[in-house]
Amino acid sequence: MIIAVDGPTASGKGTIAKALAAHFGLPHLDTGLLYRAVGRQVVLNGGDPDEAADALAACTFSEDLLADPMLRSEETGGLASRVSVHPGVRAALLERQRAFAAQQGGAVLDGRDIGTVIAPDATIKLFVTASVDARAQRRYLEMCKRGDPVTRDAIAADLAARDARDRTRAQSPLVPAPDAVLFDTSELDRDAAIAAAIALVEKRI
Ligand code: C5P
């Protein structure tokens, strides 16, 4: 069983993917982390994330980098969004994701193009959405908890910019697969979203 979970930043897709993996006893890959590692590695290399050659050179990041807490920062999220527009970067990360999806027993992957590109034959595809307001509020509370000094307006502006870049890029834009189930979490808290996602998957298997 392959479960594909796609959606924009702070839609709840990561939380849902993790919970589905735990519930169904499947391994989980947060594919955004791979793009974040490339974004971070570009900076470590002193390169420019908007330059295709610099971004491609950063795809050979070391596995240790995936555990770096810096990857979770908003700044690295922005860098990830910039390096992810380069087709060479997407190609370099493709096999790793496909191999994860193809492992025996199945897997849960979350990202932007799992249902459309990485695992088009997934058993179930969820496209998780939420309003910009709901997503900005969630991200704001998360960052306050971490002690990051940000304003809600700055977060909303950053989310909108990232959405626009992810949705309009030529290669693997953020769009629901034709056979994806659209799942809006704007009005749901964490537990309600998880319970509803489990019910959606159970209906399909
Ligand atoms: O999901 P997360 O916020 O960690 O992703 C960071 C960035 O990486 C996204 O804004 C997107 O540009 C890129 N990404 C992608 N394809 C994926 C996962 C993430 O382009 N499968």
Identify the pLDDT of residue 73. 86
User: What b-and-e string marks burial along 52-65, b requiring 16 or more CB atoms within 10 Å of the CB?
Assistant: eebbbbbbebeeeb
Low-confidence ranges of the chain (pLDDT < 70): none
Size (the chain), residues? 205
Query: Which residues lie across from 109 on neighbouring strands?
Result: 4, 29
Q: Does 10 appear as a known binding residue?
A: yes
Contact assessment for residue 152 and residue 98, using Cβ atoms and an 8 Å cutoff:
no
Q: What is the pLDDT of residue 101?
A: 98
In 45-191, beta strands by DSSP E: 107-111, 124-129, 181-184
The CATH number covering residue 65 comes to 3.40.50.300
- Cα–Cα distance list, 120 to 55, 101, 123, 177, 204 (Å): 26, 11, 9, 8, 16
Q: What is the pLDDT of residues 32-68, one digit of tens each?
A: 999 999 999 999 999 999 999 999 999 999 999 999 9
ipTM entry: 0.98
Cα(14) to centroid(ligand 1), Å = 11
Quick count: other Cβ atoms within 10 Å of Cβ 144?
A: 12
Q: Which domain range does residue 168 map to?
A: 2-204
* Overall number of domains in the chain: 1
Ligand 1, CB within 6 Å, residue ranges: 9, 31-32, 35-36, 77, 80-81, 84, 111-113, 162, 166
